[in-house]
Structure 1
Amino acid sequence: MKLIRVILPIAIIVLGIGAMKTVTALGDTTEENESVDTRPTVRVTQLKPESFAINIEAFGELAPLESTRLAAQVSGEVVEWNPTFVAGGIVKRGEMLFSIEKDAYTAALLQAESALANAQAALIEEKALANVAEREAATLPNSRVTDLYLRKPQILSAEAAVKAAQAQMKIAKRDLANTEVVAPYDALIVSRSIGKGDFLTVGTSAATLYNVEVGEVTFPLARFDQAFLPEALNGIEATVSLLNGTTDEIKRSATIVRDSGIYDSATRMTHLVARVNDPYGLTTQQPVLRFGAYTKVSFTGKTIDNVYRIPQELITRRQLWILDEADKLVAKPVEVVREVDSEFLIRVDIAADDRIVMTLPEYPQNGMAVKVIEGADKLVAKQP
């Protein structure tokens, strides 16, 4: 027992000393600290200037080139009307719309023809008498030969009677022709206010027609678009589109024909007019554009040169960021020429080999050091 009591403390001391040496040895082991690169990473690309044709879009309502309030030109009873002469009907140029009772006008034409025949007969008679007088005058002294003797006044009076009779006959023919009212152009019947049996007087309103041979879209143009208008507007080709509620668009060719010539006092906008031929597709079999439809007009404006196309998110505070030789950020002021979808068209003072930063740090600053990721991004040019 005494031996155990002596050995046990000695063993405990020995174990303690060993443990202390082990801890000290572990504490003396130093870890290698690796340096951490905290620079933000970016991707870069290079840009080339290009020429870009500006596409201008605006919206307006399709309206007829002209509308007519059709009225009776002669009096009489309506005896017949065209079955298509109803609201929504479409009639061709020269097609009969309705007719007025003709008997009185046929009789008036016969009377005018009779009066003309009598006047022509009287003229022939006067000319014959004048010939006789002229032959007799050859045997008479000059002092006795007068214009009255030669029947010159009578001939002038007979000729005037013939002209008056001809005028009356023209009026009678016109009135008879006006008993059949025809379409002045290919027309859409907007409204009709007469029926069979109605008695019309001169000037009685019969219907309202829209010309479907030509339609026009008058559309406003904002000031930021006005700067990109071509020098000459008339004759510029355009496209008029009608969204029909599906993925398809109805598109028709059009032509810019004029400027309204004034600015709207409230909006400071000017208005242009695009013309669409045969909007209802009667002769061209094109898709129908109805009057009153809200349409989009698009056409090509000026072409601007030496601009760069770049995503909008890369422009901050009107600045474009590039890298210098030391891979540090440098801000370049830009002029934004126009916004095109999600891109800006800009002018900026950069060289062809300048590296454009495509992925900006969260808070970019001039002189900020960055790390360039291998494999530069490429800007894919979109078709204008």
Structure 2
Amino acid sequence: MQFLRRSLVGIFLFALTLALFAWAGNTVRLAVNERMNAEPRSFPQRERVLSVNVVTVTPKTIAPELVVFGELSSANTFALRALSSGTVLEVSPNFADGGRVLEGELIVKIDPRDAQSARDRIAADLRDAEAELRDADRALTLEQDEVAAAEQQAVLRQQALTRQNDLAARGVGTAAAIETAELALSGANQAVLSRRQVLAQAQARLDQAATRLDRARLNLEDADRVVADTEVFAPFSGTLSDVSITQGVRVTSNEHLGDLVENDKLEVSFRLSTAQYARLTGADGRLGNADVIISLDAQDLRLEAAGQITRESANVGDGQTGRLLFARLDSTAGLRAGDFVTVTVTEPDLRGVAMVPSTAIGSNSSALLLAEGNRLEEIPVEVLRRQGDDVIIRAPSLYGQQVVVERSPLLGAGIAVLPIDPNAEAEAPEPTEMITLDPERRARLIEFVEGSRMPPPAKTRTLGQLEQDEVPADVVNRLEERMGT
């Protein structure tokens, strides 16, 4: 009996175990079928909104600027040369490289003895010429008297001949007397001609003496100039450079002594492209007196000077392009000829244009307009100038509107964005709504955050907010939207 009872109990337990396995298998099958037949769980999808910086396009009048490089040079440079040969006797204490001299200061004095001797000989020749002129003048006066006397003698001979003819007409004269009177008159006329010839020679001698006197005076002036050329004076105030002589050396005529540079009158030469040059010319094609500003950066020091364009080169130059321009500077404090400087040229004003960052304009000359609903719209613009990191554009359809400051491959027409205007006044943030969570809702949200793929810093911050008595409503709404509740 005991064996039968135990057998029946074992059979019963075995049947019960089979029943439980069958019930468990059926439960798993039903769960799998339900899971497979259930609709997939989905979360509401939100459009991605990118934050972008925007700027307002404001039309105004802008004077564009051209930035090029140029070189300073003196507008007044004088080459000092020895105008006469000789030994250098004196030099100015300032006669050295970098020495500054004043206008009219004696720089170099050359031994004047040879020039002075030549000048004295020419002065003696001048006195001889003056004496010759006086002698010729006296000789001319005497010859004029001789001619007057000969003419008077001829008049007397003519009167004698007339008297002999009258006597012959009355029958008291003889032919021999008449012939003698005629011969005497002929001799008197011949004497007059001779004295006139001598008078002409005296007049020629006087003219030659006057010419020699003028030539002697010119020679004396040249000699005086040669003597004066033994002293070299500064034609203007400036600084010396390339000084090549010292006291005691012998120089030849036209030998280079040094250069005198006027640093107070500098000009800058710079080259522009043909397109840049065309923008500076007026309607008549002539170059105007555009303003320029030159700057020289030396570590923490910045030297600046203003000026105006004065002229342009007549030709382009071998192997060069564009146009070479020159500008005269108003002030040159601290600047020197030969400095390599930055030149900023102010162009004529452009009216009705706007300046925006260069990153706001795409390679196809278009800008992204912030249209209605904070969606982007691509608008073509006309790029007029580039000014460093900015561009000057003309786009009447954008005036008063906002455009994206920084273009990126993620931005395009139709994209929704969150505009951020750095120049706009900061608005006071609206107070955040706080709500109180019941324990079940709080536990469900905490469980979702712990099982999510949030970055650790964001997860820690969100859990800290959920553990508070009051939780921001926007945080709760955002989490519940992700949970699909």
Normalising by structure 2, report the TM-score: 0.61
Q: Which amino acid aligns with 1:251?
A: E
Map of 1:211-230 to 2, 5 A cutoff?
211-212=262-263, 214-223=265-274, 225-230=276-281
Question: Closer, same or farther in 2 for the Cα pair 1:326/1:249, shift >3 Å?
Answer: closer
**Secondary structure, aligned partner of 2:313:** strand
Partner residue in 2 for 1:28: none
Runs of at least 5 residues in structure 1 that lack an aligned partner in the other structure: 1-32, 280-286, 380-384
C-alpha contact (below 8 Å) 2:368/2:412 kept by paired residues: no
Runs of at least 5 residues in structure 2 that lack an aligned partner in the other structure: 1-42, 152-191, 426-485
Deviation, structure 1 residue 123: 1.2
C-alpha contact (below 8 Å) 1:239/1:252 kept by paired residues: yes
Question: Closer, same or farther in 2 for the Cα pair 1:235/1:129, shift >3 Å?
Answer: farther
C-alpha contact (below 8 Å) 2:143/2:198 kept by paired residues: no
Map of 1:158-237 to 2, 5 A cutoff?
158-212=209-263, 214-223=265-274, 225-231=276-282, 232-233=286-287, 235-237=289-291
Residue of 107, 131, 139 corresponding to 2:141: 131
Question: Closer, same or farther in 2 for the Cα pair 1:40/1:226, shift >3 Å?
Answer: same
C-alpha contact (below 8 Å) 2:143/2:195 kept by paired residues: no
Map of 1:58-73 to 2, 5 A cutoff?
58-65=68-75, 67-73=77-83
Deviation, structure 1 residue 348: 2.1
Partner residue in 2 for 1:290: 336
**Secondary structure, aligned partner of 2:295:** strand
Map of 1:140-159 to 2, 5 A cutoff?
140-141=150-151, 143-144=193-194, 146=196, 148-150=198-200, 151-159=202-210
Residue of 104, 110, 113 corresponding to 2:120: 110
Partner residue in 1 for 2:389: 342
State the percentage of identical aligned residues.
24
Deviation, structure 1 residue 171: 1.7
Q: CA separation in 1, counterparts of 2:370 and 2:197?
A: 110
Residue of 301, 307, 310 corresponding to 1:257: 310
Q: Say whether residues 1:310 and 2:320 are aligned partners.
A: no
**Secondary structure, aligned partner of 2:64:** strand
Q: Is the helix fraction higher in 1 or 2?
A: 2
Q: Which amino acid aligns with 1:272?
A: L
Question: Closer, same or farther in 2 for the Cα pair 1:327/1:97, shift >3 Å?
Answer: closer
Deviation, structure 1 residue 169: 0.4
Deviation, structure 1 residue 316: 2.6
Q: Which amino acid aligns with 2:209?
A: A
Encode CA deviations 1:35-62: one digit per residue, 9 max, x unaligned. Answer: 8564445676653422211122222222
Normalising by structure 1, report the TM-score: 0.75
Number of equivalenced pairs: 338
Question: Closer, same or farther in 2 for the Cα pair 1:221/1:70, shift >3 Å?
Answer: same
Q: CA separation in 2, counterparts of 1:153 and 1:47?
A: 95
Which is worse superposed, 196-205 or 72-81?
Answer: 196-205
**Secondary structure, aligned partner of 1:292:** coil
Q: Which amino acid aligns with 2:294?
A: V
Highest Rg: 1 or 2? 2
C-alpha contact (below 8 Å) 1:234/1:258 kept by paired residues: no
Encode CA deviations 1:153-181: one digit per residue, 9 max, x unaligned. Answer: 01111011101211220121011111112
Deviation, structure 1 residue 91: 1.6
- Compute the RMSD of aligned alpha carbons: 3.2
**Secondary structure, aligned partner of 2:226:** helix
Q: Is the strand fraction higher in 1 or 2?
A: 1
